[in-house]
C-alpha cells in the first residue's frame, strides 16, 4: 500500500574532511560505496559519527518495537473473539521479533545488548512518542494497526534502502510484516464500522484521539530536525519527516472514505496547486512533552518494561547456564 516511498532519487553525499592520508583513503572508499549504492557492512571502515548515528537510530527503533508491544498487549486478554485474540497475539509477537532483529543489527556496530537495554531502562534512550498514549477501547487496537503501523511503514519502507546493510536487510522483513499488520487493523475497523452505531462511535472516537499523535510520530518539522540533513547525506534517511508526513496524509484520506470515518482536522483539504492535502497545525509542545517523558503513559510503559526485564532474569540465567553446559560437554567430547 505504501511502497511508492521506495521511488526516490539518491541523496547527495558530503563527508567531513579526513584527518590524515590513511584515513582519507578509507573515507574515499566509504564515500565511493555510498555513491555507488553499495552497502556498508559491519567489517567495513566507517566514520565514527556514522556509526554513532546508526546506533542511535537503530536502538531507538528497537526500543519502539518492544515498548510498542504494550498498548496492544493490554487488549490480548479482552479481545472480542478467539480469532481476534489469535491475530493480536501474533501481531504483538511480531513486534518482539522486530525488536530482536533491530537489537542484533545495532550489535553489529559494536554495542552490547546490555548497554542498549540499560539506556532504555534508565530513561536515557528515546523510543517513539506514539506508544505513550493509552488504548482505551477495542477500537484503539484496530486504529493502531491502521494508522500507527501505516505511519511506521511509510517511514520504514525507505529504510529498506538504508546504506547500512544489516539495518536495510532487517527492514525488508519488518516491512512485510508491518504491511500485514496495517491491513489487519483496517479490516478489524471495517468490521466494527459495519456493526452497531455504538461501535461506529467507538471507532470514530479512537481515530479522533490517535490522528494527531500519529502525524507527530514522523518527527519534528524539517526546519527543526537536527539529524535529517546528515542522515540523508549518509543514505540512512531517504525521505524527510515532512515529506513522509505529507505522503501519509495523502494515502490515508481516501482510506477514511472507504472506512466511513472523518479525520479531526477542520483545515484538512485538497490543494489543487500543490496536488496534495493541506492539514492543520500539529501541537509540537505536546509532542516534546511526550518525548521528554511527560506523556500520558510514559512512566507506566517504562515501569512495565523494567519489571518484565527483571522478572525474565531467571530465563536469561538458565539459558546461559545451559549454553555453558553444552560448551563444556562439547569440549570434553573433543578432548
Q: Which is nearer to ligand FAQ, 18 or 177 (CB)?
A: 177
Gyration radius of the chain's alpha carbons = 22
Out of 16, 226, 254, 266, name the contact with ligand FAQ by CB under 6 A. Answer: 226
Q: Judge contact between 103 and 127, C-beta under 8 A.
A: no
- 267-306 residues in contact with ligand FAQ (CB under 6 A) are 291
Q: Which is nearer to ligand FAQ, 88 or 291 (CB)?
A: 291
Looking at 2-10, 200-208, 221-229, 255-263, which segment touches ligand FAQ (CB under 6 A)?
Answer: 221-229
Out of 73, 150, 231, 235, name the contact with ligand FAQ by CB under 6 A. Answer: 231
**Smallest separation, CB 174 to ligand FAQ (Å):** 8
**Smallest separation, CB 227 to ligand FAQ (Å):** 3
**Smallest separation, CB 286 to ligand FAQ (Å):** 12
Based on the number of CB atoms within 10 Å of its own CB, is 330 exposed (0-12), middle (13-18) or buried (19 or more)?
Answer: exposed
202's enclosing H/E stretch is helix 197-216
Quick check: 33 binds ligand FAQ (CB under 6 A)? no
Cell numbers that stand for 198 in this block = 455504538
- CA gap 68, 63 in Å, rounded: 8
Site string for ligand FAQ, 115-154 (x = CB under 6 A): -----------x-xx--------------x---xx--x--
- 153-182 residues in contact with ligand FAQ (CB under 6 A) are 155-156
270's enclosing H/E stretch is strand 269-271
Which residue reads 579526513 in cell numbers? 18
Out of 84, 200, 209, 237, name the contact with ligand FAQ by CB under 6 A. Answer: 237
Q: Which is nearer to ligand FAQ, 130 or 259 (CB)?
A: 130
Site string for ligand FAQ, 61-90 (x = CB under 6 A): x--xx--x----------------------
Other Cβ atoms closer than 10 A to 160: 20
**Smallest separation, CB 228 to ligand FAQ (Å):** 5
**Smallest separation, CB 254 to ligand FAQ (Å):** 21
**Smallest separation, CB 56 to ligand FAQ (Å):** 5
Residues 6 or more apart whose CB falls under 8 angstroms from that of 142 comprise 185, 186, 188, 189, 192, 203, 206
Q: Judge contact between 275 and 269, C-beta under 8 A.
A: no
Q: Judge contact between 278 and 269, C-beta under 8 A.
A: yes
Cell numbers that stand for 91 in this block = 501481531
Cell numbers that stand for 213 in this block = 499523535
Q: Which is nearer to ligand FAQ, 220 or 235 (CB)?
A: 220
Q: Which is nearer to ligand FAQ, 57 or 137 (CB)?
A: 57
- CA gap 160, 236 in Å, rounded: 10
Q: Judge contact between 210 and 131, C-beta under 8 A.
A: no
**Smallest separation, CB 289 to ligand FAQ (Å):** 11
3-state secondary structure of 276: strand
Total of residues contacting ligand FAQ (CB under 6 A): 28
Residues 6 or more apart whose CB falls under 8 angstroms from that of 294 comprise none
Q: Which residues bind ligand FAQ (CB under 6 A)?
A: 56-57, 60-61, 64-65, 68, 95, 126, 128-129, 144, 148-149, 152, 155-156, 217, 219-220, 225-228, 231, 237, 241, 291
Amino acid at each position: 500500500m505504501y511502497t511508492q516511498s521506495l521511488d526516490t532519487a539518491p541523496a547527495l553525499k558530503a563527508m567531513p574532511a579526513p584527518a590524515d592520508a590513511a584515513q582519507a583513503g578509507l573515507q574515499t572508499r566509504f564515500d565511493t560505496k555510498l555513491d555507488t549504492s553499495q552497502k556498508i557492512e559491519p567489517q567495513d571502515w566507517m566514520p565514527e559519527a556514522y556509526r554513532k548515528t546508526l546506533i542511535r537510530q537503530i536502538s531507538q527503533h528497537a526500543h519502539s518495537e518492544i515498548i510498542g508491544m504494550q498498548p496492544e498487549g493490554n487488549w490480548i486478554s479482552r479481545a472480542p473473539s478467539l480469532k481476534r485474540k489469535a491475530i493480536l497475539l501474533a501481531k504483538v509477537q511480531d513486534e518482539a521479533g522486530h525488536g530482536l532483529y533491530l537489537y542484533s543489527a545495532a550489535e553489529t556496530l559494536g554495542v552490547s545488548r546490555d548497554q542498549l537495554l540499560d539506556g532504555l531502562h534508565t530513561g536515557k534512550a528515546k523510543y517513539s512518542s506514539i506508544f505513550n498514549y493509552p488504548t482505551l477501547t477495542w477500537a484503539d487496537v484496530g486504529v493502531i494497526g491502521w494508522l500507527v503501523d501505516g505511519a511506521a511503514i511509510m517511514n520504514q519502507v525507505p529504510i529498506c534502502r538504508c546504506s547500512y546493510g544489516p539495518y536495510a536487510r532487517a527492514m525488508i522483513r519488518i516491512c512485510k510484516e508491518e504491511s500485514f499488520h496495517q491491513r489487519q487493523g483496517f479490516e478489524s475497523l471495517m468490521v466494527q464500522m459495519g456493526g452497531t452505531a455504538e461501535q461506529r462511535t467507538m471507532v470514530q472516537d479512537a481515530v479522533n484521539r490517535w490522528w494527531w499523535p500519529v502525524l507527530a510520530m514522523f518527527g519534528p518539522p524539517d526546519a527543526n530536525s537536527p539529524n535529517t540533513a546528515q542522515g540523508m547525506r549518509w543514505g540512512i534517511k531517504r525521505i524527510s519527516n515532512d515529506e513522509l508526513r505529507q505522503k501519509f496524509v495523502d494515502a490515508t484520506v481516501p482510506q477514511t472514505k472507504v472506512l466511513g470515518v472523518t479525520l479531526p482536522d477542520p483545515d484538512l483539504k485538497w490543494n489543487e496547486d500543490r496536488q496534495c492535502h493541506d492539514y492543520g497545525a500539529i501541537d509540537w509542545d505536546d509532542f516534546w512533552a511526550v518525548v521528554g517523558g511527560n506523556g500520558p503513559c510514559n512512566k507506566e510503559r517504562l515501569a512495565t518494561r523494567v519489571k518484565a526485564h527483571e522478572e525474565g532474569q531467571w530465563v536469561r540465567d538458565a539459558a546461559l547456564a545451559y549454553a555453558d553446559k553444552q560448551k563444556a560437554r562439547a569440549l570434553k567430547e573433543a578432548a
